[in-house]
Amino acid sequence: MPALRLLGRRWLVATDDLVFPGLFEFVYRLIWLVLVALVAWSLGAGWGWGGGGGGAGATCTDEEGGAAVRAYLCGELLLIALAMALLAALVNRSAQGSVMDARARRHVPALLTAKVLLIVPEVAWNILGTLWAFSDTVQCSNEEGFTKAVIEAMVLFNWVQLALTLLGLALVFDPLGSSRLVAPAPPPPPPSPGADGDAPPQEDPAQEEARHRRLTSLWIRRFQWVFCWVRRDEHCHEAFQHIASLFSALLRNTDIVPSDMMAALVLLRVMQKRETRELRRLQLLEKDQPKYYLDTREVFAETPSWMSLDHALHFLKMSMAAYGWPFVMYQYPATGLFRMCPHMTCCACFRCKATEVKDDNCCLCHLAGVRYTSQVDYEDIIYASFSNDMCQLPFFVLADHKTSSIAIVVRGSISLRDVFTDLIAGADLFEAPGLPENSMAHRGISLAAYYILKTLETSGALEKAFILYPHYKLVLTGHSLGAGVSVLLALLLRPRYPDLKVYAISPPAGLLSREAARVTEEFTFSVGIGDDFVMRLSVDSIENIRTNALRVLKFCKLPKYRIMLNGFGYAIFGIPTRDLESTWKNDLPTPSTPGQLPLLLNTPPTSSSDDSLLFVRDISQRRFSRTHLYIPGKILHITRRKKTKQERKTNTGGPTYEMRWAVAEEFTEFRIMPRMILDHLPDNIYKAFETVLDEQKQIRKRVPTVAVL
């Protein structure tokens, strides 16, 4: 960072991204240098060149043929040595300075230009070598197998290397990197005590807005090309436009490249661990941290009976069933097909089916997956729709006799279409009876809720279900995206079914505006495990990550290659304590920019001219959404309990998990944690629920009972 400017344009790579590619190519060329040197030495010493060879062309022993081979080998040695010298200098310069210290790497563009220009003589020389190696111009006897094999292999590998170079250039090519669309890079400023990096170039508002429009159009074209198989309609074009605007807003006026974001994620994890340590040092965690409970009876002492982990576990199983046959194959890769076979329908079977199934295949594989995972009878599934498109999610309606309820189960994200539904993340007006005026909701999820409502009204599935079971109550459930859709669908259905309940498993964070989210606490039970990233993922948290990423990159004193190497080490061995201090400069401030979350609470706020340049005027004007959306329902947060030293020493201890009631504001900050993806997977959540319930049974067995005579 900033992005590399070469040959009059901007590229999606920085001057400090050439360390590892340069080292790889240096080792590759060193191997070929040794092999070519051995061939040239053997040729000069007379190895394998004795004996004539007749043929249409010159032979290796002929004066003309031998001279041609010697000239080719000498030229190849010269080109390889020159390339290695440039690579060594390029790697050395690219490894200098911190991420933001572009001045320390000011010679990289010149060295890279020389390296790119060296491709021209290399290609010309390789064409000549190809003609000599694979034609009859120069012939060698069978005794010269090593020489011939090395030359032919070298020619082939040189073409492969050229192809890889062209592929690399295509990957880092920025379509908007033209000098007409990018502000010229400022000259390197002289080093000063308060500024250790180049500030991003300033653009006038007209040029900035023009670039924003072009970037949005570029993202739309990318989506149309990558997802050419998606059905094109008005909703598809609107979705592409919305997501392209989101991506463009996130990258607007930021001179960063993909590798910068990878390094920033590593630094954010280090920063968050340092922040936790500092809070513990100030004893803020001990005084102000919320109280967690080990006994579920204390947690649910004042809640209605329908809010229980037993019911949550039961409906989580239904939510897992909504994923159909892919989830069964995910759990049982080798035997999943055989497990579902008894529940499948023969393709040649034309018997009348009691269950109305929409958009499943001829063998009803999705329905088979639902039946196997949920273990419900075929007759109890009243309606099932497996239609999957943008803002259209599969769901099914069943009669649950265990809880005496009619359950609407909505599937979570599993396909690219579902990902698009997640990404249509802007706040949109959502109207439903009982909600405050001007309530806002996640646009993509609200469209999915309206789709399911329309499908239910068209099919009459709920009316049919309550005719069969008039005394049952309505329950909605889902996992992840399905949980969010269930909550919004419940808001639309409440006027007709005022007693409905929702079990939302790991619901998304950016779902409803704050007052609307408070309304859902009456009928929604939300449950999450540990560091689940979806419960903290929203447009607002992503924009905070963008802003905090710029800050941690600015105040990191390590070069990018060191950050990447450290990241691999952190993933395997964890973050050592010494890195919490050695990673940062001494002037790391607390963010004071609107819309940010503080990274460190014990550092004094500072401001400087380069800091104001870094965050580009007022960052609040660059935010994609002005409305904060929150997680719905009454939230039960379950986390792993940290054992004491004595418990770890004796390998004993109490329950594995502890829990408490949380508030929606606690899930507005996205945190980079090792288990943030694993804690979102439904099978892991199911195991955690089972563990909690099993341990609660053990706790209650150990409680002594007193008999009253």
Q: What is the pLDDT of residue 181?
A: 53
Do 150 and 214 lie in one domain? The reply is no
Do 529 and 561 lie in one domain? The reply is no
Tens digits of residue pLDDT in 599-625: 443 344 444 444 444 444 444 455 666
Better-predicted residue by pLDDT, 691 or 648? 691
Q: What is the pLDDT of residue 266?
A: 92
Q: What is the mean pLDDT of residues 8-29?
A: 90
Q: Is residue 427 part of a domain?
A: yes
Q: What is the pLDDT of residue 493?
A: 95
Q: Specify the pTM.
A: 0.82
Do 131 and 273 lie in one domain? The reply is no
Query: Which segment, 283-287, 416-420, 480-484, is predicted with the most confidence on average?
Result: 480-484
Which CATH number goes with the domain that contains 302?
Answer: 3.40.50.1820
Cis peptide before 495 (omega within 30 of 0): no
Lowest mean pLDDT segment, chosen from 11-15, 322-326, 380-384, 403-407: 11-15
Q: What is the phi-psi region of residue 633: left when phi exceeds 0, alpha when psi lies from -120 to 50, beta otherwise?
A: left
Which pLDDT band, with edges at 50, 70 and 90, does 281 fall under?
Answer: confident
pLDDT for residue 91 is more than 80: yes
Tens digits of residue pLDDT in 479-489: 999 999 999 99
Closest CA to 517 of 562, 560, 487: 487
Determine contact, residues 536/665, Cβ cutoff 8 Å.
Answer: no
Tokens of 679: 């804690």
Q: What is the phi-psi region of residue 132: left when phi exceeds 0, alpha when psi lies from -120 to 50, beta otherwise?
A: alpha
Q: Is residue 103 part of a domain?
A: yes
Q: Is residue 386 part of a domain?
A: yes
pLDDT for residue 109 is more than 70: yes
Q: What is the mean pLDDT of residues 420-427?
A: 86
Q: What is the mean pLDDT of residues 33-42?
A: 84
Q: What is the pLDDT of residue 108?
A: 93
Do 171 and 297 lie in one domain? The reply is no
Which pLDDT band, with edges at 50, 70 and 90, does 141 fall under?
Answer: low
Q: Residue 73: helix, strand or coil by DSSP?
A: helix
Determine contact, residues 538/512, Cβ cutoff 8 Å.
Answer: no
Q: What is the mean pLDDT of residues 553-569?
A: 91
For the beta carbon of residue 508, count every other beta carbon within 10 angstroms.
27
Residues spanned by the domain of 266: 258-285+549-611
Q: Is residue 556 part of a domain?
A: yes
Could you tell me where the DSSP H helices lie in 375-442?
A: 416-423
Residue type (1 letter), 220: I
Gap between the Cα atoms of 588 and 9, Å rounded: 33
Q: What is the mean pLDDT of residues 651-670?
A: 86
Total of domains in the chain: 4
Q: What is the pLDDT of residue 80?
A: 92
Contacts 24+ apart (CB under 8 A), 205-209: 207/183, 208/252, 208/253
Do 242 and 326 lie in one domain? The reply is no
Tens digits of residue pLDDT in 24-37: 999 989 998 988 88
Do 466 and 504 lie in one domain? The reply is yes
* Helix, strand, coil percent content, the chain, rounded in steps of 5: 50, 10, 35
Closest CA to 447 of 410, 421, 423: 421
Q: What is the mean pLDDT of residues 53-73?
A: 57
Gap between the Cα atoms of 193 and 189, Å rounded: 12
Gap between the Cα atoms of 690 and 687, Å rounded: 5
Better-predicted residue by pLDDT, 602 or 185? 185
Do 273 and 306 lie in one domain? The reply is no
Which pLDDT band, with edges at 50, 70 and 90, does 378 fall under?
Answer: confident
CA 293-294-298 angle, to 5 degrees, is 60
Domain boundary among 536, 560, 592: 536
Q: Is residue 640 part of a domain?
A: no
Q: What is the mean pLDDT of residues 628-639?
A: 94
Q: Is residue 402 part of a domain?
A: yes
Residue % of the chain over a pLDDT of 70 = 78
Which pLDDT band, with edges at 50, 70 and 90, does 209 fall under?
Answer: low
Q: What is the mean pLDDT of residues 384-394?
A: 90
Q: What is the pLDDT of residue 699?
A: 75
Tens digits of residue pLDDT in 214-228: 778 877 777 777 666
Which pLDDT band, with edges at 50, 70 and 90, does 527 fall under?
Answer: very high
- By residue count, the chain amounts to 709
Q: What is the pLDDT of residue 246?
A: 76
Which pLDDT band, with edges at 50, 70 and 90, does 591 fall under?
Answer: very low
Q: What is the pLDDT of residue 182?
A: 55
Which pLDDT band, with edges at 50, 70 and 90, does 593 fall under?
Answer: very low
Q: Is residue 639 part of a domain?
A: no
Q: What is the mean pLDDT of residues 441-452?
A: 94
Do 421 and 561 lie in one domain? The reply is no
Domain boundary among 512, 536, 560: 536
Tokens of 379: 């007759």
Locate tokens 């309820």: which residue? 405
Q: Is residue 96 part of a domain?
A: yes
Do 374 and 412 lie in one domain? The reply is yes
Gap between the Cα atoms of 129 and 216, Å rounded: 46
pLDDT for residue 398 is more than 70: yes
Q: What is the mean pLDDT of residues 267-284?
A: 81
Q: What is the mean pLDDT of residues 40-48?
A: 61
pLDDT for residue 551 is more than 50: yes
Do 230 and 369 lie in one domain? The reply is no
Tens digits of residue pLDDT in 500-522: 999 999 999 989 999 999 999 99
Domain boundary among 536, 561, 578: 536
**DSSP annotation string for 597-632:** --S-SSSPP---HHHHHHTTS-GGGG-S-SS--B--
Tens digits of residue pLDDT in 457-474: 999 999 999 999 999 999
Q: What is the pLDDT of residue 688?
A: 94
Gap between the Cα atoms of 15 and 645, Å rounded: 47
Do 78 and 15 lie in one domain? The reply is yes
Summary mean pLDDT of the chain: 81
Do 150 and 213 lie in one domain? The reply is no
pLDDT for residue 425 is more than 70: yes
